[in-house]
Amino acid sequence: QINVRERKEITDGELNKKDNIHSKMKKNAVLVDGVILNGPITDSKAGEKFVEEACKIIMEEIIQKADDVTEKVCEWRAPETLKKLLDLEMRDTGESHQKLLQLCQDVIQYSVKTNHPRFFNQLYAGIDYYSLVARFITEALNPSVYTYEVSPVFLLVEEAVIKKMIEFIGWEEGDGIFNPGGSVSNMYAMNLARYKFCPEIKEKGLSGLPRLVLFTSEECHYSMKKAASFLGIGTENVYFVKTDERGKMIPEELEKQVQRARKEGSAPFLVCATAGTTVLGAFDPLDKIADICEKYDLWLHVDASWGGSALISRKHCRLLHAVFSKIYAFKFWLMWKALGTTGLEERVNRALALARYLVEEIKKREGFQLLLEPEYANVCFWYIPPSLRKMEDGPEFWQKLHQVAPVVKERMMKKGSMMLGYQPNQGKVNFFRQVVISPQVSREDMDFLLDEIELLAKDL
């Protein structure tokens, strides 16, 4: 049943936009529940034009500026100010394409530029053109990697990348999976180890069983506790093993903890070692830990989310002995195709050489002090401002030094010159942590980093 009045309204209004289906629709309009069902309701030509214009903005405002150190790392605004600058409200009526493009510009302007060569805040490697293209393609194709039926190409790509990575680990055979990140990988590993320990837990759950206990170092990733809580194991059943002054798990301490757990009548099932800790970049002694795991029949998981890339370097692979790394397959594959194994190796070697350069500069400069000699790309250091340099070593000195990094950080944010993280660790007061991985970053940026800290902290 077609309601003639309604049909006419729609024909005159919306349908005029779509000339190609216009005449057909007039002849053959179908109205159900007051909705005209002929032809699509989206204007695909306008939609395509919108995507094209947005891509131009992305190109000019994000990608072309990514290597420009004269751009700000962030244009910091307080939350209430930013809320006023952005038009966040969702209304009944849609906005024009012109307005939407302006919104996209605003979103970009006030976002932190994690691609910026001087964004050192987290473990970012700068812009990578190949993995970016891969992500654009997967976003546009919008696949679900369930089965070969719906995702034939990406399943084969994942298979190929995993095969290659297994070769690098040095295994004859093996299998793997790509995860969205380190936290998820650690959870999967814990679940896997639990299933290995007692397959029945899958159906029966943990109720009524002895306490499952796992071991990891004090310097492990925070996702370990989160995973233990989520999996119903309980955070108290994560036994933290003491580390040495470099942040490496002490094997003798691990063995003591395993024996303690056994005496308590609990069920030790897993050791989570770390290859490249988040803060210090420390590598646990995998060989010795593996021996203990064998002796006590424990599953060994190595979190190599951060340190795993050392495997690609013939110079630095001695840092690891058996790992498993995690990145979404297709973007890694396209990057690998583009750079080749040699190019990937060059990046790892360069990152570690840059860290080495920074360490030597820190040693040379007055006021800078290394936390420890790094073995990987994490360079941890304090900056002691002029006013503290003559102070005696003691609680007051450390308390004052503890305040320095937060002030310097706030100043760099407001200036937008760079972003660098800091934290306290194991009784050590706030220190800066510079993690070098971006191929855009050069010696000049390392010099800038130290100059800028000096400049921002000279009056402290």
C-alpha–C-alpha distance, residues 265 and 270, integer Å: 16
Spell out a b/e string for 184-207, using b for 16 or more CB atoms within 10 Å of the CB, else e: ebbbebbbebbeebeeebeeeeee
Let me know: does 405 contact 455? Beta carbons within 8 Å: no
Among 2, 141, 177, 391, binds a second copy (CB under 8 A): 141
Q: For residues 414 and 459, what is the distance between their CA atoms, to the nearest angstrom? A: 17
Nearer to a second copy, 156 or 391 (CB): 156
50 binds a second copy (CB under 8 A): yes
The yes or no reply on residue 347 touching a second copy (CB under 8 A) is yes
Contact with a second copy (CB under 8 A) among 77, 242, 246, 365: 77
Which of 47, 386 has the CB closer to a second copy? 47
How many residues bind a second copy, per CB under 8 A? 141
Structure tokens at 311: 């495997």
Q: Name the residue among 180, 172, 152 with its Cα closest to residue 331.
A: 180
Exactly one of 8, 17, 30, 318 binds a second copy (CB under 8 A); which one? 30
Let me know: does 122 contact 111? Beta carbons within 8 Å.
no
Using the contact rule CB under 8 A, the part of the chain among 43-51, 282-290, 363-371, 382-390 near a second copy is: 43-51
Which residue in the set 3, 16, 111, 387 belongs to the binding site for a second copy (CB under 8 A)? 111
List alpha helices for 365-442, DSSP H. Answer: 395-415
**Using only C-alpha atoms, what is the Rg of the chain?**
28
CB of 125 to a second copy, least distance (A): 10
Least distance (Å) between residue 93 CB and a second copy? 4
Per-residue CA distances from 176 to 70, 95, 162, 173, 196 (Å):
42, 45, 6, 10, 16
Query: Are 303 and 182 a contacting pair, CB within 8 Å?
Result: yes
Give, as ranges, the residues between 251 and 290 that touch a second copy (CB under 8 A): none
11 binds a second copy (CB under 8 A): no
58 half-sphere exposure, CB direction, 13 A CA radius: 9
**Count of C-beta atoms within a 10 Å radius of residue 408:** 23
**Does the protein bind a second copy through residue 13 (CB under 8 A)?**
no
In this structure, what token pair is assigned to residue 23? 């005449």
Query: Does 12 help bind a second copy (rule: CB under 8 A)?
Result: no
The one among 10, 300, 353, 370 contacting a second copy by CB under 8 A:
353
From 339, 372, 407, 460, residue interacting with a second copy (rule: CB under 8 A) = 339
355 to 394: interface string for a second copy, x by CB under 8 A:
-xx--x----------------------------------
Interface residue with a second copy among 142, 173, 373, 389 (CB under 8 A) is 142
Instruction: Please report where in the chains the tokens 């650690």 appear, as a residue.
Output: 186
Interface with a second copy in residues 145-164 (CB under 8 A): 148-154, 156-157, 160-161, 164
The Cα–Cα gap between 339 and 25 comes to 53
Among 256, 321, 350, 411, binds a second copy (CB under 8 A): 350
Out of 261, 352, 384, 450, name the contact with a second copy by CB under 8 A: 352
Q: Which is nearer to a second copy, 343 or 424 (CB)?
A: 343
The DSSP bridge partners found for residue 214 are 238, 270
Residue window 198-237: x/- pattern of binding to a second copy, with contact defined by CB under 8 A: ---xxxxxxxxxxxx---------------xxxxxxxxxx
